[in-house]
Amino acid sequence: MNPAAIETTNVVKRYPRTTALNGVSLRVEQGEFFGLLGPNGAGKTTLISIVAGLARATSGTACVLGHDVAADYRAARRALGVVPQELVFDPFFTVRETLRIQSGYFGLRHNDAWIDELLENLALTAKADTNMRALSGGMKRRVLVAQALVHRPPVIVLDEPTAGVDVELRQTLWRFIRRLNREGHTIVLTTHYLEEAQELCGRIAMLKAGRVVALDSTRALLAGLEGVRMSFRLTGELPVALAGKLAERDGVRIALRLSGAEEVESALAALRVAGAKIDDLEVGHADLEDVFLQLTSDRRSLEPPPPRAGESFLPSPASAGEGQGVRASGSPTGQPA
């Protein structure tokens, strides 16, 4: 069998005050476009740091293309390109110098043709000779992406590459990353933009409080959710009868998850009877955001929906009891300390 692009086995990471990862086992196959999702503090960046050999697991193992990240660090590192979440750069070098220096770390001396291609694909050509400190935040992020790709790694991990990035660059970036994926590169992506993940990722793992709470194809995760999502702005109180349908509340904006069109009618009737005024009504299919909220909000995760035949909504019992995390975890989703 081909080695997995990334395989982690029971990875635990404890900090003095927190257990950031509590037994994470994942296998990302070569050629996948894989999403790693979860609320703030779930452990995504910690897991990526361990895979990249930047942090050491308290226990458990991680391999990149079969190379153990601790025992076989150099080979594992060479197989991997990581776009970090934090903007770290040396302000004194130009964009091109930064990319040449990074090439040098991998012993690549004549890499300019590929560097030019990266600059072009990330719309950075005009900034090639600009000092890093003079770039805007979004442009620095593009350089981080280029830096991660400078040695043409077969496995590419992007930790929130589109945070704070404008629409145009997102599209440019995704076009390029998709192309790399078509050419055989494995992509692992974390993002808080769930529509991005839904569109791009073939499979998705959701982390919560250091555990995998769902791991399945995007299609199966979405199929586990029937019904429609109805959202509106509400003036007045939400009728008690609808409280159980609440999917999300953001100020006066309310989203309900309903079983189908008939429930939309009865919900509207309940609102009318209660004298509640609504506007800006939207009705659409349940989407990845609903899956995410259901799995990561404490209230909902106490009662996971029963998996339907042929679907593994939650990790199978084979994955080291991770499914228990859904019920056992009573802690808040956890902001980074």
Ligand X SMILES: Nc1ncnc2c1ncn2[C@@H]1O[C@H](COP(=O)(O)OP(=O)(O)OP(=O)(O)O)[C@@H](O)[C@H]1O
The residues of the shown chain that bind ligand X, judged by CB under 6 A, are: 15, 18, 20, 38, 40-46, 85, 334, 336-337
Q: Which does 315 bind (CB under 5 to 8 A by kind): Mg ion, ligand X, none?
A: none
Q: How far is the CB of 228 from ligand X (least distance, A)?
A: 28
Q: Does residue 163 sit in helix, strand or coil?
A: coil
68: which 2 tokens? Answer: 């153990």
Which of 315, 334 has the CB closer to ligand X?
334
Residue labelled with tokens 């072009």? 120
Binding partner at 15 among ligand X, Mg ion, none, C-beta below 5 to 8 Å by kind: ligand X
Q: Which does 18 bind (CB under 5 to 8 A by kind): Mg ion, ligand X, none?
A: ligand X
Which of ligand X, Mg ion, none binds 131 (CB below 5-8 Å, type-dependent)? Answer: none
Rounded to the nearest 10 degrees, how much is the dihedral formed by the CA atoms of 246, 231, 281, 253?
Answer: 90
C-alpha distance across the termini of the chain, in Å: 41
Using CB positions, name the residue nearest to Mg ion: 45
Amino acid at 56: R
Q: Look at residues 126, 136, 117 and name the one whose alpha carbon lies nearest to residue 176.
A: 117
State the Cα–Cα distance between residues 198 and 218, nearest whole angstrom. Answer: 7
Residue 43 contact among ligand X, Mg ion, none, beta carbon within 5 to 8 Å by kind: ligand X
Q: What is the dihedral of CA 218, 224, 228, 229, to 10 degrees?
A: -70
CB 17 to ligand X: min, Å: 7
Which residues are near Mg ion by CB under 5 A? 44-45, 85
Residues 236 and 171: their CA atoms lie apart, in Å, by 40
Q: Least distance in Å: CB of 19 to ligand X? A: 8
Return the number of the residue (30 or 85) whose C-beta is nearest Mg ion: 85
CB of 165 to ligand X, least distance (A): 15
Q: Which is nearer to ligand X, 321 or 336 (CB)?
A: 336
The phi, psi pair for 9, rounded to 5°, reads -125, 115
CA 138 vs CA 63, 97, 123, 166, 192: distances in Å: 31, 19, 11, 7, 16
| CB of residue 315 to ligand X, shortest distance in Å | 18
Q: Which is nearer to ligand X, 51 or 118 (CB)?
A: 51
